[in-house]
Chain A
Amino acid sequence: MANYGMLINTKKCIGCYACRTACQRQNNLLPDEAFIRFEEREVGTYPSVRVEHVPLQCMHCEDAPCVSVCPTGAAKYGTDGIVEVDQGRCIGCLYCVAACPYQVRVRNSQTGAVDKCRFCTVAADDGTKMCSCVEACLTGCRIFGDLDDPNSEISKAIIETGAAPIAGDLTKAKIYYVR
């Protein structure tokens, strides 16, 4: 039983949106249905300025507000620490969308149901070895892996970089950011 999480190194993110469009193709999403959103911050003033791009997606929280508020049980804790949406149970009330502090749940305008990052991971012989955003990232910002395995790449990287969830301990989020 694994406990999957991700690390995103914003110091290497160039804000190119490749992860977003790759994810849309991998997961067959609608054009306006994106599992990854971005916040961009300018640090400093001209000419001593730098830009920080922060991709945000489902944090697969251990204390997930979406799961708490979902009236039908469509939002649920799956195995391996992955928060799931059971599309067949979702009524599209959007309560989870309102409850998610990260604003990363989206309604599919065709089905009316809510969806979000699935930590999609596909068998090696189908080309993608990792979540499509991890594979697609041009600069290797992202590491996916088992947070409970102290020897996993991600566990080591979190210690090494001091990565932390974007909103501290708000929801026990499992995406760690290097900023």
Chain B
Amino acid sequence: MTFEPIWNSIIAWYLFLAGLGGGAYVSAAFLRWRHPEAVNMIRIGRVIAPVVVIIGLCLLMFDATAGLHNPLRFALLLTNFGSVMTWGVVFLGVFVVLSLIGAGLDLAKRNVPLWLDVAGAVFGVCVAVYTGCLLGVCKTFPLWNNALLPILFLVSAMSTGMAAVLCVAIFRHPEEFNRVGVFKKFHFCLPIIELVLVASLLFVTASNASPAGWESVMNLVGGDCALAFWFLFVLVGLVLPTALETWLLFFSPKEFEESRKAHWISFASDAGVLIGGFVLRLLVLIAAMPLTMVVPWY
């Protein structure tokens, strides 16, 4: 009895982009607080946020084929406030509006009120947490149905959002990139936290009462997903960025850190974080096995 994953890469992109968008706006708010002089990077964060989230929402609507055929039905999305997805729609809607206003004001060289950035960041966090809770409430899948997943997705969302801002900054505004040390150190910590969270998630899931938990973990670490899990997520997405940034931030000479070569290394590290972020969503979607009623799925 074969199990076909219910959601595929389209939804993985959606989860990834929604998280990234939330993270990007949080990045902008953080930069405003600790590095107010990095005005271009702040703008990058504000612009990335609505753009990627809107792309993600388009993908979501494309995947919801019955709605795509009857677009008016999307208006019904606000009817069941018992549903996490309904809350997600609220968060996403508010976030898109806030971030669009923020990006618009910034691009128009107008002052962005502080409350807007604070509210945008709050809803950015909500969106990121929502992507995890969306899966987390599905009791069917032990890999999803735990409290760690939303936190893991939140950390990953912040990490990918920051990485996206940094990636753009390296090319567009290297001088600002060189000066946002606190931001980079926060960004450096996130993959390490993620590593701890992922390890915890796997241990907790594997010990689930249903064999589905164990099967899901085995899919990730030893099955069809293993290559992507170990190479793309763990190595490229977590270990490599941590190793490269450790060296850049703590061991390399100051002058090298600001060289073009170092920028490329940073770029590689941030690109790795982005790849890892997407692969994480995809793997969590396709590796998850549902509860067993009589015999295990395979």
Contacts and interface: CB of A to CB of B under 8 A. Distances in A.
Direct contact of A and B (CB under 8 A): yes
Interface of A: 39-41, 52, 54, 56, 65, 68-74, 88-95, 97-103, 107, 111-114, 166-167, 170
Given A41-B294, A91-B66, A112-B65, A71 B7 contact: no
Contacts, number: 115
Interface string B71-82: 001101101101
Query: A-B pairs with the 4 shortest C-beta distances?
Result: A112-B65, A91-B67, A92-B66, A112-B66
Contacts of A167: 291, 293
A169 to B, nearest CB: 13
15 contacts: A39-B294, A39-B295, A41-B295, A68-B82, A71-B76, A71-B80, A73-B80, A88-B73, A89-B76, A91-B76, A92-B63, A93-B64, A102-B293, A112-B67, A170-B139
Contacts of A113: 66
Given A73-B76, A97-B6, A112 B294 contact: no
Interface in B64-96: 64-70, 73-74, 76-77, 79-80, 82-86, 88-89
A72 B79 contact: yes
B73 A89 contact: yes
Interface of A is mostly: loop
Given A91-B76, A112-B64, A167-B293, A71 B83 contact: yes
Q: How large is the interface on B (under 10, 10 to 19, 20 to 34, 35 or more residues)?
A: 35 or more
A52 B70 CA distance: 43
Q: Which of A70, A101, A102 has the most CB of B within 10 A?
A: A101
Given A65-B138, A69-B83, 10 more contacts: A40-B295, A69-B84, A72-B80, A73-B79, A90-B67, A91-B64, A91-B70, A100-B140, A166-B293, A166-B294
Given A91-B64, A100-B140, A68 B83 contact: yes
Interface of B: 1, 3, 6-7, 60, 63-70, 73-74, 76-77, 79-80, 82-86, 88-89, 134-135, 137-141, 290-291, 293-295
A101 B294 contact: no
Nearest to A53: B294
Contact of B140 (A52, A88, A101, A111): A101
Contacts of A93: 60, 63-64, 67, 85
Contacts of A52: 294
Contacts of A74: 76
Q: Which of B6, B63, B293 has the most CB of A within 10 A?
A: B293
Contact of B86 (A71, A89, A107, A114): A71
A100 to B, nearest CB: 7
Nearest to A75: B80
